[in-house]
Amino acid sequence: MRRLCSAANLPEAYLLKQLLEQAGIEARVFNEHAQGALGEIPFTHAYPEVWLINDADAVRAEELIRTYERTEPSAVTRACPACGEQNPQGFEICWRCGAPIS
Ligand SMILES: [Zn+2]
């Protein structure tokens, strides 16, 4: 068993677990119930964690997580130079004000 990463919330933890399992990597989510028990658990321990069953999968799993983080929508937005609105990567004009994004 080996801890891979912690997730911001439970849905993300399960998304990562699913991502790993699609690649044939066995994973478990821990701290599942942490968010319901914030009063009892120190805050830094309250995030769900994704653990690998087999240590040997670590390199491949970390690669998958990095790819996931690169393609996560919030990570690829660009701010419009005219109005400051966030636009998805690949947009050439702002969806809000129509200004070109370079
Ligand atoms: Zn704009």
d(CA 80, CA 73): 16
Report how far ligand 1's centroid is from the alpha carbon of 34 (Å): 40
**8 Å CB contact between 100 and 92:** yes
Q: What is the pTM of this model?
A: 0.59
Report how far ligand 1's centroid is from the alpha carbon of 85 (Å): 5
Report how far ligand 1's centroid is from the alpha carbon of 70 (Å): 24
Q: Which CATH class is domain 2-71?
A: alpha beta
Report how far ligand 1's centroid is from the alpha carbon of 86 (Å): 8
Report how far ligand 1's centroid is from the alpha carbon of 96 (Å): 5
Phi-psi region of 31 (alpha: psi -120 to 50; beta: other; left: phi over 0): left
Report how far ligand 1's centroid is from the alpha carbon of 38 (Å): 40
Domain ranges of the chain: 2-71, 77-102
**8 Å CB contact between 46 and 36:** no
For 28-75, the pLDDT digits (tens) are: 999 876 555 555 555 555 788 999 999 999 999 999 998 887 776 555
**8 Å CB contact between 98 and 92:** no
pLDDT of residue 16: 92
